[in-house]
Structure 1
């Protein structure tokens, strides 16, 4: 702070009497700006007390903080301000404001070159310094070493068997290192872990895999370890271990966006060469029908709604196609459908192959392949359920309300200009759709044949009795073949009743273990009894009763000994060996409400 004492002489000019400058203490630097300005006044009054106390005339105090000019008026003061207010009553003065740009002399004194430029932040100033305290008790990692005796012994044994490395010799010169009588080294009171990969892996496993830990992420696992242990590369080791943890890959949600950009179907160049079909329903029974066969032309957006029943088989589907599509619009080159049994049966595919029609069923759990039909299915379902047979014709006409009438685009094929405009509009629409879709998807992940991947379990029926405990994915499965763009054929179990071709959006790369203690033990071979394979039951997880007429049988969900949960299967009692009786009894004791046959 700086201050200047001036006196007005008989010539009308101000003459300097004294200068005053003082740096603030650490405590004073914590004052609010209002109190700092007031402190400057109090220090100046104290410094020039002999000149100002008892003066014959009222003297003036000029300052650049305008709020202080109201200090002597009635207001609420804190304790410090109240003390200063009492001392000021001894002086006869008035307060006046002057802009800081005109206060050049005191401002120069407050910015003396020898003064330190401290921060006006209480966080940078510690009033109670560490040297003011005396350490009475300090807990270190060694105080809790008894909780992990085997690991401590392994660290000691390794230190005895191996000589001190040059790296460690350089590190221990740092004052934060301390060597104990039992041979252990500590770094900032944390036990030093020697460069033994197996030892490091076991320490990470104890803080990540155990039930009490709960498989935390990289940051939390590292935080748990560094409470007791220290190693220069511990963060890198933890990141590698957690990223390759098998259980974390199975049960944790995938936070990143999927690697599956949109791949639109190719744009057709003429009407009814590429069509898509799907069943809508079942709907309420009306006039003997309860389903609609929805047929869409990908070029003209022409929609055909055909009434049918939910019992329509492959033969009836072929007849409906002949009467309503082929007879009016000719033979298409490609038909896009879902994987319903009516569309993919051999009875349906055989005549398509003979006629040269390319069947394009969608991949498992990937409705985007047949997106046009799926979109119109939703529009059909918005119509009144009670009059859906009469409104289905109107809905078909409404869907044709485009810039070009579908009848013209379908039949007036000599209108080459119209077709070119439609092709251009379709391509532009697909480009816009792909741009919006890809904003939330990463670039495609190019898998190779033989790679192992996880399969999302969202759409698969689980054997777990509680859906909340389901695994987030299944696998890992081997890629057998790359089919088209973003479609892969997986080596799934033969017992799965689903198509083995999946879109890339449902796949996640499998990360193999990095440490030996992460690898799952190999699945044991089955026992051979009378030349037949026999498997041992580890536990019974769930049960259900299957009724076939008057006959009722109990089925058990069995966890096989030595095998992962993906091998769990529903088995009747007749398929289980005698050693399963104990597991069944334990299950019914734990679940007494479950019925027994």
Structure 2
């Protein structure tokens, strides 16, 4: 056995050659990182490597003689019975290993390249190992990433095929969906065919470029049919055919009620969370693992998603795709997102559960608008420095307009040309006491359109808390995309707004887009996964309208 502080190789003699059996590595954690600053710190780290490795490979080393090769010569006497050390930690570890039959040999690091080289190899850049790399070993080797890394107990991928997840529920999981067949589909993955073909992997998915499969609907359908349990379930749902194998037949029959086949695709029935009333039910495609990274990219990294937080990303994934362990993958994906890590600072408070403000006498969408201004921001190439923000209290729908100057004229222009033609005249308008909202031009505008103007308390922005909180969210979303000079924020503004409107809102229990329009928008994933909903004829508008508002 050869070791370094964080790299270990277990080897044996096969065919008269010293052949590695497995590789292992271990990082120092917590207070262990302080060892490097101690007088005997290097010796403690090296000794801990021996202790950790012998614990890990105890089943191979117990009751047999073996050798430990290290480039740290101090270890040759630490474990010697004739020597004693004044370091209590080293003495305790030496006592722990005294019942093992081994001898420590010193070897220069230059002669142990298979372990020492890992810590000495110069690296110009470090790239994350993505799901696409795991599923495409050829591409991984071209990029300098080994196709398999780790010890044997960890290199065999944990079966995780597209199916019901077995993860715990988050704070927003009040829906009646019960994943009582989670273990069924995971058991399918333990069959040799799934593991041998690399259909599953337990390695966390990390943010990177879109998966090489991209948004190809034909390839998506073909890849779904490559999964054995999906083929069996589709055959049962379409033709009533049941597998001959009793184990597979029993599992497939139990899973069938939660799935359906649409246009040849296996779909999963998902109950969306609802604050009041019955939960909304949708069908989403069951995603093969080859497309998991694609789903995560378009639900978080893409400009139409804009790096929103965990709850909103979970809900977006829930509405567009399904695979086993999706919650864990989403959480890991966001944890590894470098853009979020660099652009979002820690929040100094703990959020309470959001509650709807009891605003009375709302007649429907855009009956009460809250308006505020953001700026001055870095001036863009188009001369914009301010953002005029309006949020509807009823649907949480947000509008934002970029302007070069913030005065009454730009405010009136935003309402007349940006809000009224698309949403109608608001009944009431709430703002602070800014001059652009209280000028004679603004008052004449309110009177002309019959808008009842409301003003918040002076020096008390909490009166307009809805729009004030949205301003923070909007700036944070823009920060994820702007260049270093921050002079192109107005280019991203419309698409960032779309990301917010189509994101789950806890106070609503749905998205602002669905709350206003009564339907969900078609996103790139819907087109790629052929999840476009029911098809209509051009003369069935009346029936569509009745179904939309029933």
Q: Taking structure 1 as the reference length, what is the TM-score of the superposition?
A: 0.24
Structure of greater Rg: 1
Structure showing the higher strand proportion among its residues: 1
Q: Taking structure 2 as the reference length, what is the TM-score of the superposition?
A: 0.25
Structure showing the higher helix proportion among its residues: 2
